[in-house]
Amino acid sequence: MKSNTEKFGKTPHQPSLWTRADALKVHADDPTTTQPLVSANFPVLSNEVFIWDTMPLRDMDGNITSVDGWSVIFTLTADRHPNDPQYIDENGNYDITRDWNDRHGRAKMYYWFSRTGKDWKLGGRVMAEGVSPTVREWAGTPILLNEQGEVDLYYTAVTPGATIVKVRGRVVTTEHGVSMVGFEKVKPLFEADGKMYQTEAQNPFWGFRDPWPFRDPNDGKLYMLFEGNVAGERGSHKVGKAEIGDVPPGYEDVGNSRFQTACVGIAVARDEDGDDWEMLPPLLTAVGVNDQTERPHFVFQDGKYYLFTISHTFTYADGVIGPDGVYGFVADSLFGPYVPLNGSGLVLGNPSSQPFQTYSHCVMPNGLVTSFIDSVPTDENGTQTRIGGTEAPTVEIKIKGQQTFVVAEYDYGYIPPMLDVTLK
């Protein structure tokens, strides 16, 4: 496997590296980068469905947007099956854990609306059955395009394959609620190419998903972030000096870390509508560090690019470890170089006493961080847990230069608008 320089050449940019040395600085339970404990007494949004990845409606500049006073979120959603014999265990009880763990295979895109930025009401499915070309509708981003209420939903069409797609529809409001109309024609945009981004043929555990389009505040062009893995056959990647970074004596052994090859991908649009995209080399790679950098997104603040991405404990490579949560990197220009926030990259992780309490954090430009509840221990030893499948309490962080600080906590699923658009 080639190094970044051999692989991507000198132009248009060199991916920044999240190194093993950076990751050695990750420490769970630092209160400034740890999500407050989530109580096992949390309320659930719905007894009919599980929700996880939450995608607030926003504009192309990243502002969370309400329409005619209605806040709107999209969520990955799956039915709960409390009465399905398939999920009843040998004692006759509902095995909610198994039902929850199976959810990815039946994920569908739903939307919710609210007058208050919380207490969400279920709107329904965004696309009718049969519209999306694959079994799984995985994460992406809904973009409000204009005052006519047109919405482009970018998402990932998975199984078979993994394709970044978009579907256009419209948001319609009344005094009583919100509906989504249209969303009938799904347009494939691009797939992993095997040269910059790993394909399924190169690695059955590849990741290629989670589109996040945006307008660069500096050059005004349309780009898109996404999750990928660095191209190459599984096991062929090299964890060399650059990937290791400046480690203390005794930390040179990289074990089997060549199998962890996450990256944050970027593409640029060739047109104004975002129908025609060209993939560029990754912005950030984590070869030898972590196998997943999911749902990448930006906050543009103080003239800087704050790049956030979620990752798991179980996807870390041999010899490095960190909590489930959101990690961040900062640069002065879009193509980097990116430096890990707080030295390590960790911005908001789960406390070690409740390692799976939340996931899929989305940092909004107002510093609020939304996530979902995964599972919370209900006894001292953490052997009993309560499955969530619902919105977690919102946390506020302060971003200051290369550091971040947890400063406040709000209600479950609190996602207030940053601006309101009156539809024409």
Say which DSSP state 394 is in: E
Give the integer Cα–Cα distance in Å for 57 and 64: 6
CA dihedral sign of residues 283, 144, 277, 232: positive
CB of residue 207 vs ligand FRU: minimum separation in angstroms? Answer: 7
CB of residue 192 vs ligand FRU: minimum separation in angstroms? Answer: 14
Report the residue number, 13 or 58, with the smaller CB distance to ligand FRU: 58
- Angle ∠(422,46,113) on CA atoms, nearest 5: 0
Report the residue number, 14 or 290, with the smaller CB distance to ligand FRU: 290
| Identity at 135, one-letter amino acid code | V
CB of residue 268 vs ligand FRU: minimum separation in angstroms? Answer: 22
CB of residue 7 vs ligand FRU: minimum separation in angstroms? Answer: 24
Q: Retrieve residue 260's tokens.
A: 């962890």
Contacts of 414 (CB under 8 A, 6+ apart): 117, 118, 368, 370, 393, 394
Q: Which of 22, 53, 291, 391 is flagged as catalytic?
A: 53
Rg of the chain over Cα atoms, rounded to whole angstroms, equals 21
Q: Reduced to 3 states, what is the DSSP secondary structure of residue 139?
A: strand
Report the residue number, 8 or 329, with the smaller CB distance to ligand FRU: 329
Contact 207, 322 (CB under 8 A): no
Report the residue number, 7 or 104, with the smaller CB distance to ligand FRU: 104
Question: Which single residue is written with the structure tokens 């095995």?
Answer: 95
Contact 21, 27 (CB under 8 A): no
Give residue 147's Cα distance to chain centre: 27
Q: Which of 22, 210, 227, 294 is flagged as catalytic?
A: 294
Report the residue number, 22 or 227, with the smaller CB distance to ligand FRU: 227
Which helix (H) or strand (E) covers residue 22, if one does? helix 20-24
Q: What share of the chain is helix, strand, coil (3-state, %, to 5)?
A: 10, 45, 45
Give the integer Cα–Cα distance in Å for 285 and 262: 6
Report the residue number, 67 or 107, with the smaller CB distance to ligand FRU: 107
Tell me whether residue 53 is one of the annotated catalytic residues: yes
Given the rule CB under 6 A, which residues bind ligand FRU?
52-53, 76, 104, 107, 138-139, 156, 209-210, 227, 294-295, 359-360
CB of residue 375 vs ligand FRU: minimum separation in angstroms? Answer: 14
CB of residue 155 vs ligand FRU: minimum separation in angstroms? Answer: 8
- Which residue from 352, 362, 332, 348 is spatially nearest to 406, judged by alpha carbons? 348
Which residues are the active-site residues? 53, 294
